[in-house]
Amino acid sequence: MKKVNPNIDKNNKVISLNGLKKSFDDFDVLRGVDLNLYQGENLVVLGRSGTGKSVLIKIISGLLKADEGVVNVLGSNMNRIAGRELDRLRLKIGFSFQNSALYDSMTIRENLEFPLVRNRKELGRKEIDNLVEVVLEAVGLSQTINQMPSELSGGQRKRIGIARTLILRPEIMLYDEPTAGLDPITSIEINNLINEVQTRFNTSSIIITHDLTCARDTGDRVVMLLDGQFQREGTFEEVFNTDDERVKSFYNYNFIK
C-alpha cells in the first residue's frame, strides 16, 4: 500500500471537472462527472473496461470535446481554448498511452527529440542530447537510445512512452492503463516508476487502470467509475470497504479472493 504523498497541496486544484457528460451515438459514457486533482497528487481512476476511463483523460488532454460540463486544467477552461493556447497548455500535460504510441519509423532518440525540437526551438543540439539522456536515465533505459521501438519489450516501450512525455517537464501526467498487458514483475517496476516520477518531477497524475495492484501501489486517492459516474472515492481501503456488490465483485474477481 502506498503512503499518501505529504506534499499534496489541497489548496491548489490542477484539474477540476464539473458535471462532465459525454455520449457516443446513443450511449452515455460519462453522465455528470465531478472531480478535482490536487497539486502533487496521484489520483487513480478505477473501473471496468468500456466505462469511459480513457474518454475522461482524452477530454482532459483536449483530444475529445465534452458534450456538457466544465473542464478546467491549470486554470484554463478546455472548452474555450484552441490553437496555440491549447498547444501551450498541452506542453504542461504528459500523456502516457495504453500501447505507448511510440513512432514506429523513428529511433528511440528521435522519438524523445520529437516533441522537443518542435516546441523548444531555443534549445541547441547539446541541450537536446542532454535532456534525452536525463529522461532515458530516469526510466533506466539509456542503452536503448539508438534502437527502434519494434526492438523493445512491452515494458520497455511503456517506459520510453513515459520518458517521451517527461522530456517536456509536464506539470500533469495522465497514464492510460500503464500496466495493461505486462507481467506482474514489470507491472511493479512501472508502478514504482510512476511514484518516482511523482516525487522526482513533482507531477500531479491521473492513473487510469483496472489493475488493482497498480491502484493500490500508486494512488494517493482512488475513485471508482461506475455507470458513467464516480461512485466511490477515498484511499484504496476506503473505496473497497463497502457493501456495494458492483464494487465488491470488482475487488473479488480482479484482485484477491
Partner 1 sequence: MRSKNENAGETRVRKYIISKRIDAVFTTLADIHFFIVRFFREVFFPPYEFKEIVRQCYEVGVKSLPLISLTGFIIGIVFTNQSRVSLAEFGATSWLPALISIAIVRALAPLVTALIAAGRVGSSIGAELGSMKVTEQIDAMEVSATNPFKFLVVTRVLATTFMTPALMMYVVFVALMGGYFNVHKNELTSFTAYFVQVFNAITFLDIFSSIIKSFVFGFTIGIVGCYKGYNSSKGTEGVGKAANSSVVTAMFLVFIEELLALQIIHAIRFA
- Nearer to partner 1 among residue 123 and residue 168 (C-beta): 168
CB-side neighbour CA atoms (13 Å) of 35: 35
- Does 115 sit near partner 1 (CB under 8 A)? yes
- Does 153 sit near partner 1 (CB under 8 A)? no
For 156, the grid coordinates are 520497455
Residue with cell 539522456: 133
Report the C-alpha gap between 250 and 14 in whole angstroms.
Answer: 29
- Does 175 sit near partner 1 (CB under 8 A)? no
Query: Least distance in Å: CB of 24 to partner 1?
Result: 13
Report the C-alpha gap between 60 and 73 in whole angstroms.
Answer: 7
- Does 148 sit near partner 1 (CB under 8 A)? no
Report the C-alpha gap between 219 and 222 in whole angstroms.
Answer: 6
Nearest to 64 by CA among 225, 196, 174: 174
- Does 134 sit near partner 1 (CB under 8 A)? no
- Nearer to partner 1 among residue 42 and residue 61 (C-beta): 61
Segment contacting partner 1 by CB under 8 A, of 45-53, 115-123, 125-133, 243-251: 115-123
3 CB-contact burial (10 Å; exposed 0-12 / middle 13-18 / buried 19+): exposed
Cβ atoms of residues 174 and 11 within 8 Å: no
Residue ranges in 81-100 that form contacts with partner 1 under rule CB under 8 A: 87-88, 90-91, 93, 95, 97-99
Cβ atoms of residues 180 and 98 within 8 Å: yes
The secondary structure element, H or E, covering residue 238 is: helix 236-240
Total residues interacting with partner 1, rule: CB under 8 A: 25
Q: Which residue in 4, 27, 63, 80 binds partner 1 (CB under 8 A)? A: 63
- Does 61 sit near partner 1 (CB under 8 A)? yes
Q: Which residue in 118, 125, 126, 257 binds partner 1 (CB under 8 A)? A: 118
Query: Which amino acid is it at 199?
Result: T
Residue ranges in 195-234 that form contacts with partner 1 under rule CB under 8 A: none
Site for partner 1, rule CB under 8 A = 58, 61-63, 87-88, 90-91, 93, 95, 97-99, 101-105, 114-115, 118-119, 164-165, 168
